[in-house]
Amino acid sequence: MKRGLVIIGGGPAGLAAAIKASESGADDILIIERDKSLGGILNQCIHNGFGLHRFKEELSGPEYAGRFIKMLESTSVSVMTDTMVLDVTGDKKVVCVSAEHGYMEIEAGAIVLAMGCRERTRGAIGIPGDRPSGVFTAGTAQRYLNLEGYMCGRRVVILGSGDIGLIMARRMSLEGAKVLACVEVMPYSGGLMRNIVQCLEDFDIPLYLSHTVTDVVSENGRVSRITVQKVDDKRMPIKGTEMHFDCDTLLLSVGLIPENELTKAAGIEIDPRTNGAIVSENMETSIPGVFASGNVVHVHDLVDYVSMESERAGQAAAEYLKNPSEVSCALEIKNGASVTYTVPKRIKNTEKPVGVFFRVNRIFEKSAIRVTAGDEILVSYPRAHMAPGEMEKITLTSETLKKAQRKSIVISCEEAN
Amino acid sequence: MFDVAIIGCGITGAATAFMLSKYKLNLVVLEKENDIALGATRANSAIIHAGYDPKPGTMMARLNVRGCELAETLSKDLDVSYIKNGSLVLAFSEKEMETVKELYDRGVKNGVPGQKILSKEEVLEMEPHVSSAVIGALYAPSAGIINPWEYALAFAETAVLNGCEIRLNSGVTGIEKADFGYRLHTEEGYVDAKFVVNSAGVDSAAVHEMVAPKAFTIKPSRGDYYLMDKAEGNKAKCVLFQCPSEAGKGVLVSPTVHGNLIVGPNAVSCTDAHRVNTTQEGLAFVKQMAAKSVPDINYRNAIRNFAGMRANTDRDDFIIGMAQDQFLDLAGIKSPGLTSAPAIGEEAVKILSENGLTLIPKENPVTTRKTLRFKHLSGEEKARLVKENPLYGRVICRCETITEGEIVQAIHSPVPPVSIDGVKRRAGSGMGRCQGGFCGPRVLEILARETGKPPLSIMKDKEGSYILTEEIKKEAKS
């Protein structure tokens, strides 16, 4: 089977990419979605707060997804749900299978990778103790509550202050559970400020910064007690600071990992800092004609930006289908002081402004983002506050890009004086 | 009345049931948990040892070498994941090189085939990730890796197909001597049997003492492990051991049959043989020790930690023999128990026959087994299978590519699972990097559907390990 553009994933990234590609003149677009319906993780995010940037109103996750699904209906994009992609090759062959359509091998003109991310687990962070039931990632608990309609705990401790954990603190409280504590190993929260206020403070749930879970004890197969300890600046537990919580549930919100097994198998270059594909400003990966966008590239904190980024990917894929040429990289973006990563990492076209997403590795109060080339400061952006939990975005103008008479520019952050 | 009742369905009990099930016997296996293989069998290094380690002349030496040989044919016949990848005992000092030579000599005496002592260069050529501080190694090509619970399940399922009964949730609480043999009281009523086999693992001393005076003591020893993502699976090709010393047996680094990397264990004496918790110190020790063999393991790629319990005893050898008339101990089956299991099963058959059990071979016992694994099929085979049964076209576990068809097939297998982890051990769902985060709720749903049980009653693992607490929004669903 031959198709024009194959989009892997029908969550917010895949939907936005498909719609934009269609608007940009691509035809024969196919979305492959592994779940039974489009919308991805938004379907279980029944809280509000989505769409403030995009639609200037507060929507729930399903509502946000619904707007895009509605837009999709007016295009000729075709959709295969309940279909799993098993393999993507470097020459753009997509192998997939579903109960309805059987086993398929599709030759794609272009591909957008939009598989999203998955949660880090207990095993990934090595929490010692018993291995009972009652330890869930926050997203799994969210699925049980919001999609399956079941509660999965009555007395809860949450490790990690990522946004899903915070949202679940509130959600489980509303369903009658007692959330005893939210425990964060870093000295600052990993989630959005608004979620700390609305999900913890409004419910009198204590947040223990610089603390972690050091033991899990079970009784008759289910969690019965959690030990929490303060950590030193090397994140090692401090003896004598043990606190015990009698509870039946431990929720984990300890980070998200872009899901790039297909990407790696295709031989696409990966940025070890993001665990996602290295992309240029049009979201093209190291394989021409293969694009990636959304949480599969780097973990976003707002879906609005996922949509924005994915539209770039969709448009670029449409352009590639019209003119499948390989454009070389003009400029590379390097991580300077306090910058963990940037997306994009490469810039091909310096004629147009380029939006750059990045994250800082610590809390900044009054500070400046600097873009430099060699010793020369190209541009500087003031900031009142920056935190690792909140993604930063700057737009580099064409003038700035052209000023950089080098192969690379550096983005760094420092306190303003 | 059963001819033989086996107490405990770990790898030893399962292998013994399998060996006995080839004869015209009325067999029952009594297992205290809600599934088989939940003790030492499910949490160990998963190694088929070559057999250079046990002292020559011991039962352990003989059964180890025989078990290693049997693993190759049995894994083929019973379709158990097994790779004969060989093992290296790494030496980092002249003193350790001496140990390597001693092990080599012991191996020769024990009948281990094909051993070789390798130079530093040979080791590094074979294993580029091994520390360059290595100075040589003992290579044993007959060693391998296996999926331990799949091995036990293969034995148990085949025994069931041969007519053996397996009773779960049936811990033995007391044993009475009777004219015919023994009456075994369990949590689920009593069972009468002419012969009894005690393969109760860490509880084997307690079971022994139900019929005979105290003869040995179990000294449980716990070990912590890391299991790494497949991204780390290439860090070792062979099983990489360290030299045993006064400080202990050392920590091993090995690929698993699924392509992951396993690192561990330490050894900690325990008082509670049933609490298999990992500890911070244990995991830190494992990391530190493993770095001596393979310095570049990236622990950010860890997907799971677990601990296992060894049924060590106050004796050096396995404890295999008649404890009373018609009562056989297969006790203190510590490492290399997994390797030795089928040989112990053969031994049990022999001893029981010498002690009065009449053995009449069945004409056509089941001795083979085949499990369908979607991801191992070719494109054409996948296409055909999905056409025949669309359930094989629905991938439930995305990390390990396990289909609904395989999960349903596991749920209706000869020893049916009752928990999410039971399905995991049979179908492989939830074994991957997300550790069941995505597929757990879907497996729960399928398990509830296929068994007709309410979702609230589905356990994660053993009895009591409930997942859901109550239903919400009933109206919305109906």
Percentage above 70 pLDDT, chain A: 100
Contact (Cβ atoms closer than 8 angstroms) between residue A112 and residue A55: no
Q: Domain spanning B87-141+219-310 has what CATH number?
A: 3.30.9.10
Which pLDDT score is estimated for B131? 98
Res A403: pLDDT: 87
- Say yes or no for a CB contact (<8 Å) between A139 and B279: no
Angstrom distance (rounded) from CA A337 to CA A259: 27
Percent of chain A scoring above 90 in pLDDT: 93
C-alpha B369/C-alpha A66 separation (Å) is 49
* Domains in chain A: boundaries: 2-118+257-327, 121-254, 335-342+345-415
pLDDT exceeds cutoff 70 at B474:
no
Same fold, A121-254 and A335-342+345-415: no
What is the value of ipTM here, to two decimals? 0.94
Interface test with A, best of B407, B467, B477 (most A CBs within 10 A): B467
Give B1-23 pLDDT, tens digit per residue: 999 999 999 999 999 999 999 99
Whether A98 sits inside 8 A of B394 (CB atoms) is yes
CB–CB of B239/B145 below 8 Å? yes
Q: Which amino acid is at B428?
A: G
pLDDT at B476: 54
A-interface mutation test, from B276, B398, B419, most A Cβ less than 10 A away? B398
Residue A24 pLDDT more than 70? yes
Q: Give the number of beta-carbon pairs within 8 Å between A and B.
A: 155
Q: Which helix (H) or strand (E) holds B86?
A: none
Contact A102 B463 (CB under 8 A): no
Cβ(B336)–Cβ(B58) below 8 Å: no
pTM here is 0.95
> CA–CA separation, B253 vs A202, rounded Å?
48
Q: Read off the pLDDT of residues A178-200 as tens digits, 9 standing for 90 and up.
A: 999 999 999 998 888 899 999 99
> What pLDDT, on the 0 to 100 scale, is given for residue A327?
84
Out of B277, B391, B464, closest to residue A221 by CB: B464
CB contact under 8 A, A152 and B469: yes
Asked if residue B477 has pLDDT above 60, the reply is no
Where does the pLDDT of residue A404 fall: very low under 50, low under 70, confident under 90, or very high at 90 and above? confident
Flag whether pLDDT at B136 surpasses 60.
yes
C-alpha distances (whole Å) from A114 to each of A54, B147, B368, B369, B371 are 19, 34, 44, 40, 33
Which of B433, B435, B464 is nearest residue A220 as measured by Cβ atoms? Answer: B464
The fold for domain A335-342+345-415 equals Immunoglobulin-like (2.60.40)
User: How many angstroms separate the CA of residue B146 from the nearest CA in chain A?
Assistant: 22
Chain B closest CA to A322's CA: distance in Å? 31
Kindly list the residues from chain A whose CB atom is less than 8 angstroms away from the CB atom of residue B272. Answer: none
Distance from the Cα of A226 to chain B's closest Cα (Å) equals 13
The answer to whether the Cβ–Cβ distance between B468 and A221 falls below 8 Å is no
Answer whether A133 sits within 8 Å of B467, measured CB to CB. yes
Of B279, B401, B433, the CB nearest to A86: B401
Mean pLDDT, chain A, rounded, equals: 95
Q: Which architecture, in CATH terms, is A121-254?
A: 3-Layer(bba) Sandwich (3.50)
Nearest to A137 among B386, B437, B462 (CB): B437
Question: What is residue B247's DSSP assignment?
Answer: T
Residues B402-427: what's their mean pLDDT? Answer: 98
pLDDT tens-digit map of A324-340: 988 888 899 999 999 99
Work out the average pLDDT over B304-328.
Answer: 96
Tens digit of each residue's pLDDT (9 = 90 or more) over B217-261: 999 999 999 999 999 999 999 999 999 877 677 899 999 999 999
Tell me which of B49, B185, B208, B258 is the catalytic residue: B49
Assign a CATH topology to domain A2-118+257-327.
FAD/NAD(P)-binding domain (3.50.50)
Is B2-40+149-218+315-354 assigned to CATH 3.90.1570.10? Answer: no
Chain A residues with CB-CB distance to B277 below 8 A: 128-131, 215-217
Put simply, the answer to whether B302 touches A237 (Cβ < 8 Å) is no
Chain A partners within 8 Å of B462 (Cβ): 221
Query: How far is it, in rounded angstroms, from Cα B65 to Cα B344?
Result: 11
For residue B350, the distance in angstroms to the closest alpha carbon of chain A comes to 39
Percent of chain B scoring above 90 in pLDDT? 96
Q: Is B49 a catalytic residue?
A: yes
Put simply, the answer to whether A149 touches B461 (Cβ < 8 Å) is no
Name the residue facing A118 among B282, B391, B437 (closest C-beta).
Answer: B437
Residue B355 pLDDT class (50, 70, 90 cuts): very high
Question: Which of B277, B455, B463 comes nearest A150 by C-beta?
Answer: B455
Q: What is the pLDDT of residues A353-395, one digit of tens each?
A: 999 999 999 999 999 999 999 889 999 999 999 999 889 999 9
Say if CB A220 and CB A245 are below 8 A apart: no
What is the pLDDT, as a whole number, of residue B475? 62
A317, two tokens: 């894929």
Min mean pLDDT across A227-231, A403-407, B390-394 is at: A403-407
| Chain-chain contact of B304 with A103 (C-beta, under 8 angstroms) | no
Residues in chain A closer than 8 A to B435 (CB atoms): 121-123
Nearest to B466 among A133, A137, A217 (CB): A133
Beta bridge partners of B177: B182
A-chain residues within 8 Å CB-CB of B437? 118-119, 121, 136-137, 139-140
Contact B456 A150 (CB under 8 A): yes
Work out the minimum CA distance from A261 to partner chain B, whole angstroms: 9
A151/B395 Cβ within 8 A: no
**Chain A environment of B261 (Cβ under 8 Å):** none
Q: Which two tokens stand for residue A383?
A: 């900031």
Report, as an integer, the average pLDDT of B270-276.
92
Chain B environment of A132 (Cβ under 8 Å): 460-461, 465
Least confident of B86-90, B121-125, B474-478: B474-478
